[in-house]
Structure 1
């Protein structure tokens, strides 16, 4: 839409200073002729901009002019107020800064967008942690975040599930990830880039050593790869089952319709699958593997005997 393009053109000049018609055309993905028409329209609307001729010329705004336009649409303004998690910001020591930033953003918005943002805060709440269980205690989160921000190496003492249960190592913290209410540290150490649960850090010491993140490292791309690898290692087997229509729905399987559905589903282990499948009650029958079928039958018999007594 032209109105949106005019706002974008104005903000480009405000943020970057002098720009040529060709540079503006490339940024806006339009022709130079369209830029000329847009500039004329802004001038006619009273925006104080002018053009310089010559090799070093271009368009620029009059010195000191700042538009009150934010360039935000209603959807963008709503998304901005949804994006930040107050709880996470507070854990990182940024709660006050977030509150101040929101006040400034609200003040900068036009009246109609300010109203949209107010409705968002009244009607939507983002609560990231899951049910059942208290939030993880992360006493070292602020220190970890400071090391990430300052690009300073740390020595951490870390608790893990396998022996030795506590390890100590020097790492270079690349970034923090908040996943389902739990904080993870992505850091480079003796064995390469690894992921550490922040709530399992027992002790942390900040070093004077500074470091540079390798060119090409992308935190988002790393995390996606980490999750994909985690899921691949999680489901190492499969089971052949028969499901009622309700069982298929609960297990996320497309029902065949008109009776039982046979399906092969990934499983993490016999023990884990046993617990998961028992939740489905009479809506599932395990056919393979034989060990899992036998364990299901044994458990069901034990339950029946217990309740018969």
Structure 2
């Protein structure tokens, strides 16, 4: 543990130059006192590290010194695909490995490439969740990821919404994890057929002492691409029937997104005597659809399914208690 931390400290100084004890402590997740002890140990081991006093001072390596201690550990190598995505890496429990792997990769690069990589890091950032939306809580994500990596079968208690809301128990063979618009999805085989499960809908999970089996020829990226196309285009996708005012119809792209709005517009009926139309919209889940319809306020009315109507009714009644009339 300490040896790995000291290597990280050394690589931080090599890659970034002079750094204060406070900044080193923040990067390494330790106290400044621990940094002082690690610096003393490195110096005693012959590393030419010295302190520069003053407000802009800090620790730095003697000019021209470079370490070759850049070998990646197994965990760091496994986490390389998540570099540039610190929040998803942290959710998977790989934040520290990603940070260490990036340091070692940077230290191994020639100076021109290292400078270019730092410029890219400073200028581009990936933020997966949409505006005004926090990522779904995923307390079981790290266990799912561990079972996936070890090819272990898992048994889950899962909250599903179709054909009706209920909690079911399933034994699954994990095949992959996908992060889509801030939402984690588990791709897992059941009865040898790959299926998609929202990780946030998993209520309980345990791993089983049985090796997971992968269908022949399964490729995660190809499966997900086909799944997205099927979900967005297929008419047999779960849908909800809604009634919309002219303002509600106009606002569909902002609420559902352009593609789902186009699908909904295909189903629009003629306006009734009040000027309202009926349409079917994609139903990912009852809470997801309810949240979208609530954004439309008085310009939308859910008609089907009954679970969606009940969910909205309960939500609106609960909201009404927050705003009692005078």
- Provide the TM-score with structure 1 as the length reference: 0.53
Which of 258, 273, 291 matches 2:269? 291
Equivalent pair of 1:139/1:199 in contact (CA under 8 Å) = yes
TM-superposed CA distance for 1:276, in Å, is: 5.5
Q: Which moved more, 1:141-150 or 1:109-118?
A: 109-118
Deviation at 1:127, TM superposition (A): 0.6
The structure-2 alpha-carbon separation of the partners of 1:206 and 1:124, relative to structure 1 and needing over 3 Å to count, comes to: same
**Shift in alpha-carbon separation, 1:288–1:194, aligned structure 2, 3 A:** closer
Matches within 5 A, 1:128-207: 128-162=128-162, 163-190=164-191, 192-207=193-208
Q: Secondary structure of 1:271's match?
A: strand
Residue 176 of structure 1 aligns to a residue in which SS? strand
1:279 aligns with 2:251: yes
CA shift for structure 1 position 212: 3.0
Q: 1:1-309 to 2 correspondence within 5 Å?
A: 84-162=84-162, 163-190=164-191, 192-233=193-234, 271=242, 277-279=249-251, 291-294=269-272, 297-298=275-276
Per-residue CA shift, 1:226-248, capped at 9, x if unaligned?
11110122698xxxxxxxxxxxx
Output one character per residue of 1:212-269: Cα deviation in whole Å (capped at 9) or x when no partner: 3133111111111111110122698xxxxxxxxxxxxxxxxxxxxxxxxxxxxxxx76
State the Cα distance separating 1:273 from its structure 2 match: 7.0
Residues 115, 212 of structure 1: CA spacing in aligned structure 2 closer, same or farther, 3 A cutoff?
A: same
* 3-state secondary structure, aligned to 1:278: helix
- The alpha-carbon deviation at position 297 of structure 1 amounts to 1.3
Return closer, same or farther for 1:296/1:100 CA change in 2, 3 Å cut-off: farther
RMSD: 3.3
Task: Indicate how the Cα distance of structure 1 residues 141 and 277 shifts in structure 2: closer, same or farther if over 3 A, else same.
Answer: same
Residue by residue over 1:131-173, the C-alpha shift from the partner in whole angstroms, topping out at 9 and shown as x without a partner, is 1232200000000000100000010000011325110011111
Runs of at least 4 residues off by over 6 Å: 287-290
Measured at CA, do residues 288 and 227 of structure 1 come closer, stay the same or move farther in structure 2, by a change above 3 Å? closer
Q: What is the CA distance between 1:118 and its match in structure 2?
A: 1.0
Superposed displacement of residue 289, structure 1: 6.6
Whether the 8 Å CA contact 2:92–2:142 is kept in 1: the answer is yes
Equivalent-residue separation in structure 1 for 2:244 and 2:192 (angstroms): 32
Query: What is the CA–CA distance in structure 1 between the aligned matches of 2:144 and 2:252, rounded to whole Å?
Result: 42
Question: Is the alpha carbon distance of 1:215 and 1:82 closer, same or farther for their aligned partners in structure 2, counting shifts above 3 Å?
Answer: closer
Contact 1:147/1:153 (8 A) holds in 2: yes
CA distance in 1, matches of 2:161, 2:272: 30
Cα separation, partners in 2 of 1:226 and 1:276, compared to 1, 3 Å: farther
- Stretches of structure 2 that go unaligned for 5 or more consecutive residues are 1-67, 69-79, 254-264, 278-297, 300-326
Query: Higher Cα Rg: structure 1 or 2?
Result: 1
Distance across 2 between alignment mates of 1:273 and 1:83: 44
C-alpha distance in 2, partners of 1:81/1:235? Answer: 35
Q: Secondary structure at the match of 2:234?
A: helix
Aligned length: 187
SS at match of 1:188: strand
Could you list the per-position Cα deviations for residues 267-296 of structure 1 after superposition, in whole angstroms to 9, with x for gaps in the alignment?
A: x76628767623289xxxxx9877343387
Whole-angstrom CA distance in 2 between matches of 1:123 and 1:82: 18
